Structure formats: structure tokens, C-alpha cells
Amino acid sequence: MSLSPEEPCRRWLAHLCDYVDGELDQSLCAELERHMAECEACTVVVETTRQTITLYRHLGRAELPEATRRRLKQLIERSVHEQD
């Protein structure tokens, strides 16, 4: 299974927060749900995001050690630059 986002998937990533928060326009919501019915990668992203939010709300905020924070920031920045 490949989880690299294809062009239609990239479009939906921009709407991810609104969808998960229940704030996405109904027509877009229906369109996204049709897409997810055929796209396992987007389904995984949405479900993982929902689970992460649920865990965060349940467990609360935890402070990361400074070394972990720096490493995470480097990985995110590298990932963003690779997509450009």
C-alpha cells in the first residue's frame, strides 16, 4: 500500500481539519467521503488524525524533551522541503 498523496488526495488534505472538526461544507463533505470510499490512504490519514486528536484530548498536553523537539522540527522541515 502506498500512502504518498496523489494530486486528488493533496486537494483533500487542505480540507482535513474542517472535515475532522465537522465544519466542512456538506457538499464537500459528501465528495470527500466518496473519495475516501475508494482511497485507503486518505481514510488512513483521516482516522489517524481523529485518533491523535482523541488521544490528545484524553491525555492532555505533554512536554517533549528539547532534543526530541529539535529532531521532530528537523524532520518536519526536511519533509516540507522535499515536497517542494
Establish if 37 belongs to a structural domain: yes
- pLDDT score for 10: 85
Evaluate if pTM is beyond 0.75: no
Determine, yes or no, domain membership for 1: no
Rounded CA separation 59/11 (Å): 31
Question: Within a domain: residue 23?
Answer: yes
Asked, for residue 64, whether it belongs to a domain, the answer is: yes
Which parts of the chain register pLDDT below 70? Answer: 1-5, 83-84
* Closest among 37, 18, 36 to 26, alpha carbons compared: 18
Within 1-80, strands assigned E span none
The domain of 50 spans: 7-83
- Domain count for the chain, please give it: 1
Q: Does 67 fall in a domain?
A: yes
